[in-house]
Structure 1
């Protein structure tokens, strides 16, 4: 049985976030022989519609309004509620990002629908869609299904593989003018504290530092390694609390939850709060002077030694491989 699935694509700095493509792949899984519709909001974003079609959307709704250029809870709620009411989908998907975590429960509550958040897997059993999500800080997983009404779910980045881009695909693009009124919050300016680089929540490779980096300057070797790997730099709460880096880099129970293909933990002891944010990484490499550090209990590969000796050696070896030495 085919289902109509509506996917809300997320835009940052004029570009689609990778989790939008992963949500489209999830939408194809849920829809079966049905229709996958992508919705994208803002002004001057019509050029993104073709990309969404290439990644699996059958139809794209471009919601035009200059009040949607920067995310506000009120503005996007009004706009996307109108899209849902117009389309009447069987399922609604968003990325499990700061935007998705803010917007999805409000939309689901208004429509009287249940919400399955932080989905890491989707499958179909006996004609019903089954969602897998982590619980107890990733120590266990539960399976959920929606028995009645609209399916609402958020997709954790880096867990559902996006469909391969197909430039030959074609689809319908619709422009939708939506009125947005009575905004209680208006964003005048966005000031970014984090340096430019790979988005931490969507990074395939992360190099993270803990208290073992000892200082702000101690992150420099980690940044060099990250540059060679095309990776993002992260940190434990201990490193952030010690003011070695900005809290925007924090990974853990009270920071970002990440699931990269490769996670390199440098000078991180492995407190349970940190493990809650990264233990589901596909491959974990730990570098620590303490052979009894808890991080080694979850690591696939461990190196006992001084990170200030080991990390530069790793960086140099990667450089050598690139030039074929």
Structure 2
């Protein structure tokens, strides 16, 4: 049974997020295994401009809806546009990068299309007539094996679950007509406020430096920022240190924060509570720095440094600067 796969591109600050290319890489494998077709779609005021990148990552056709009505963070027109694309293209599987924006639209889109939803999965594929997926649950201590034989399945995939690999094709663009009465909206986007300074998107960062309760003051914060600067890394934090006021809520990683899957994760002064581990356990290499050698973080760490972070970080930063 062929499985046509449609990947919905995630656009942030006028660029395609890497997680879209990761989703395309997996979609290519699924389509190849089932003699299906892989396509992509973009819902954005300047949608067609992103097609070349999607062709470069294997999308044979890029369906675009270019409308000023489909602004980020205003869900109703985005849901309506995606419903229109799905109706025209008829995929079996629709794949989304798992982002906050996607979480907002998945439920409404499922209701309007009658689709089954497999959200926030770490892997997915096809087994006979069923779409199957694995999803971390219970603070990532267990993996749920979920499956459905629905005619239409919406899947959102965690960032970092697959490698983003190019597979260029000579693709085409299909422009789809779309209109939406914005006067019917109950919400209006007034402004998008960006974080101050040069910040790295945690969900896209290949290296993340995360601070825990052991980072107790501005000196510790500066050390974390210096370490992050060596790698142009994203800066994260545990809930405890966010609540202390040292780091903003946007930096929080964990069960009640963001989920990250970088190639390299520095856990600085983080004990390893399951609530935090739920947000970073899929990191490829974990370096833990903690003065408590029995801290749970060392159970999942690739490398561990036992000692006071205020003593360890200065020479570590200097050595890395000389090596990088």
TM-score band w.r.t. shorter chain: over 0.9
Aligned residues of 1:22 and 1:163 also touching (Cα < 8 A): yes
Deviates more, 1:95-104 or 1:172-181: 172-181
Distance in 2, Cα, partners of 1:276 & 1:98: 16
Check whether the contact 1:216–1:243 (CA below 8 A) recurs between aligned residues.
no
Counterpart of 1:17 in structure 2 is: 17
- What is the aligned partner in structure 2 of residue 184 from structure 1? 186
- 1:194-209 → structure 2 map (5 Å cutoff): 195-209=197-211
C-alpha spacing 1:223/1:153, structure 2 compared with 1 (3 Å): same
Q: Cα deviation per residue 1:138-161 (whole Å; 9 max; x = unaligned)?
A: 111122222131121101001112
Aligned to 2:266: 264
TM value normalised by structure 2: 0.93
User: For 1:23-70, what per-residue CA distance to the aligned partner results, in whole angstroms no more than 9, with x for missing partners?
Assistant: 112222232322212111122232211110111101001111012243
Who is 1:31 aligned against?
31
For 2:216, the equivalent position in structure 1 comes to 214
Name the residue aligned to 1:77: 79
Q: How does 1:99-138 map to 2 (within 5 A)?
A: 99-126=101-128, 128-138=130-140
- Corresponding residue SS for 2:22: helix
**Which moves more between the two structures, 114-123 or 290-299?**
290-299
Q: CA separation in 1, counterparts of 2:166 and 2:199?
A: 24
Which deviates more from structure 2 when the two are superposed, residues 244-253 or residues 110-119? Answer: 110-119
What are the superposed Cα offsets for residues 96-125 of structure 1, whole Å, 9 maximum, x if unpaired? 110111111211122222111112123443
Cα distance, 1:126–1:88 mapped onto 2, change above 3 Å = closer
Q: What is the count of residue pairs matched by the alignment?
A: 320
Matches within 5 A, 1:134-173: 134-166=136-168, 169-173=169-173
Query: Closer, same or farther in 2 for the Cα pair 1:126/1:175, shift >3 Å?
Result: closer
Following the alignment from structure 2 to structure 1, what is the Cα–Cα distance between the partners of residues 248 and 23? 29
Are 1:94 and 2:96 an aligned pair?
yes
Is residue 317 from structure 1 mapped to residue 319 from structure 2 by the alignment?
yes
Unaligned runs of 5+ in 2: none
Query: Taking structure 1 as the reference length, what is the TM-score of the superposition?
Result: 0.93
Deviation at 1:265, TM superposition (A): 0.7
SS in 2 for 1:103: helix
Structure 2 Cα separation of the partners of residues 29 and 143 of structure 1: 20
Tell me, what secondary structure is at the counterpart of 2:148? coil
Q: Summarize the Cα distance change of 1:84–1:125 in structure 2 as closer, same or farther, 3 Å threshold.
A: closer
Residue 282 of structure 1, CA deviation: 1.8
- CA shift, 1:128, in A, is 4.2
Unaligned runs of 5+ in 1: none
Q: 2: distance between equivalents of 1:165 and 1:135? A: 33
Counterpart of 1:40? 42
| Cα deviation, residue 132, structure 1 | 1.6
Give the secondary structure class of the aligned counterpart of 2:278.
Answer: helix
**Post-superposition offset of 1:235:** 0.2
